[in-house]
């Protein structure tokens, strides 16, 4: 019989948190979900108190400060959540020998590569958000937990929360044409697929295979290609105009290229990772 784990999920109302709730229903594990108001990961005593009460085998940290542009003006807050919050969870996990699954980002890289980023590539974040997420990664690696996975992902979307395809579909309701950036390359990733992968990885995690992994759906595209596929799949008629990043200035610098190579996680945990177009096709946006 498969082993049953107690799993505590932080950031339960975020995109990934909600996808984990959605996909875990049929599993034997006991899952305990905490939204930001129920468990603020920046509050160490609250982290210790709640975690000790639940006594989980694993924590999935789906909590994060994710507002990339706003982070440029809110550095302290971004680091409080993405660095100190992760340290609080890591300290607990180390003390009580609890496993930790943490989610990181393609923004730890500078986007200057021209082939898929592998786990050992040099990091060089260009934004406050990227630096704060890297600081969280470093906390976990330094702690040398007996069971952990840092999963870097990219271009996350789902039926929940705010994300690119939902914004595109909303715009398409009241516009005839849309300009979309066509010179940034990456892999759209279904938060539903990431949630399923995390839950498959947990029973297989050992001290030998713990580490950093890249998880994104297969293939590569641009934001323009992503929008085009989205509208084609859903039969939305709209004129799409490809533009450069310079025509869409943003406060935080976007990586030009951030495809994450997912072979290592797929092989190590026996995951079948879907192509981004198929994953998108399966997603229902409300």
Ligand X SMILES: NC(=O)c1ccc[n+]([C@@H]2O[C@H](COP(=O)([O-])OP(=O)(O)OC[C@H]3O[C@@H](n4cnc5c(N)ncnc54)[C@H](OP(=O)(O)O)[C@@H]3O)[C@@H](O)[C@H]2O)c1
- Does residue 212 contact residue 119 with C-beta atoms inside 8 Å? yes
Please give the size of the binding site for ligand X, defined by CB under 6 A.
29
Q: Should residue 10 be labelled a site residue for ligand X when binding is judged by CB under 6 A?
A: yes
Restricting to residues 136-155, name those near ligand X by CB under 6 A: 153-155
C-beta of 106: minimal distance to ligand X in Å?
Answer: 6
Give the length of the chain. 286
Q: Can residue 36 be called a binding residue for ligand X (CB under 6 A)?
A: yes
Q: Which is nearer to ligand X, 18 or 182 (CB)?
A: 18
36 vs 239, beta carbon nearer ligand X: 36
Least Å distance, CB 35 to ligand X, is 6
d(CA 97, CA 163): 35
**Exactly one of 92, 107, 117, 129 is catalytic; which is it?**
129
- The answer for residues whose C-beta is within 8 angstroms of residue 263's C-beta and 6 or more apart is none
Given candidates 5, 6, 13, 281, which one binds ligand X under the rule CB under 6 A?
Answer: 13
Question: Contact region for ligand X (CB under 6 A) — 15-23, 180-188, 235-243, 259-267?
Answer: 15-23
Among 7, 9, 14, 182, binds ligand X (CB under 6 A): 14
User: Which tokens go with 56?
Assistant: 């989980």
Chain residues 93-112 in contact with ligand X, contact rule CB under 6 A: 103, 105-106
Measured CA to CA, the distance from residue 272 to residue 182 in angstroms comes to 28
Q: Is 184 in the site for ligand X (CB under 6 A)?
A: no
Please tell me whether residue 41 binds ligand X under the rule CB under 6 A: yes
Is 198 a binding residue for ligand X by CB under 6 A? The answer is: no
Question: Which residue number, 76 or 239, has a Cβ lying nearer to ligand X?
Answer: 76
Q: Is 160 a catalytic residue?
A: no
242 C-beta neighbours (distance < 10 Å), count: 16
Cβ closest to ligand X, residue 107 vs residue 269: 107
Pick the closer one to ligand X by CB: 145 or 150: 150
Residues 152, 216: Cα–Cα separation, whole Å: 8
Are 190 and 158 within 8 A, CB to CB? yes
Dist CA 153 CA 66 (whole Å) = 13
- Residue 165 makes contact with ligand X by CB under 6 A: no
Q: Does 15 bind ligand X (CB under 6 A)?
A: yes
Name the minimum Å distance from CB 68 to ligand X.
8
Closer of 2 and 224 to ligand X (Cβ): 224
The distance of closest approach from Cβ of residue 55 to ligand X in the complex, given in angstroms and rounded to an integer, is 19
Interface ranges with ligand X (CB under 6 A): 10-11, 13-17, 36, 39-42, 62-66, 81, 85, 103, 105-106, 133, 153-156, 161, 191
Residues carrying an active site annotation: 129
């Amino acid at each position: 019989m498969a082993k049953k784990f107690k799993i505590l999920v932080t950031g339960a109302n975020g995109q990934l948190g909600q996808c984990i709730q959605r996909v875990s229903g049929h599993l034997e594990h006991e899952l305990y979900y905490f939204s930001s108001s129920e468990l603020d990961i920046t509050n160490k005593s609250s982290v210790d108190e709640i975690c000790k009460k639940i006594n989980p085998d694993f924590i999935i940290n789906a909590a994060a400060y994710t507002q990339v542009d706003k982070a440029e003006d809110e550095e302290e807050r971004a680091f409080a959540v993405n660095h100190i919050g992760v340290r609080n969870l890591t300290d607990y996990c180390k003390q009580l020998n609890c496993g930790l699954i943490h989610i990181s980002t393609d923004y730890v890289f500078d986007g200057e590569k021209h082939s898929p980023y592998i786990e050992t590539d040099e990091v060089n974040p260009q934004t406050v958000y990227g630096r704060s997420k890297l600081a969280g990664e470093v906390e976990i690696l330094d702690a040398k937990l007996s069971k952990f996975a840092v999963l870097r992902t990219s271009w996350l979307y789902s039926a929940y929360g705010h994300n690119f395809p939902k914004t595109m579909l909303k715009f398409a309701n009241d516009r005839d044409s849309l300009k979309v950036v066509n010179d940034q390359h990456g892999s759209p990733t279904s938060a539903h697929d990431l949630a399923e992968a995390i839950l498959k990885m947990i029973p297989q995690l050992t001290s030998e295979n713990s580490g950093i992994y890249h998880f994104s759906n297969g293939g590569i595209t641009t934001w323009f290609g992503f929008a085009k596929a989205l509208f084609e799949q859903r039969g939305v008629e709209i004129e799409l105009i490809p533009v450069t990043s310079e025509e869409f200035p943003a406060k935080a610098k976007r990586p030009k290229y951030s495809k994450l190579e997912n072979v290592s996680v797929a092989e190590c945990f026996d995951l079948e990772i879907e192509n981004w177009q198929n994953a998108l096709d399966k997603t229902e946006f409300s």
